[in-house]
Amino acid sequence: MPVVTVQMFEGRTLDQKRKLVRAITDAMIEHAQARPDGLHVVLQEIPKENWGRAGVLGSDRTDP
């Protein structure tokens, strides 16, 4: 039972998430011989204010 966890900033549409889960599932089937009925994909959306990099909150960053 593989579990793939993706942590990312909030803001993607439901359609984007559907496509991402499909693409990850397809990749795991092709490259890791995972069975789709046993594969879990977990999307963890993190608000930018709860994520820091190099000592700066994501909500305070000006770079992409």
Q: Annotated active-site positions, please?
A: 2
SS in 3 state form for 18-57? HHHHHHHHHHHHHHHCCCHHHCEEEEEEECHHHCEECCEE
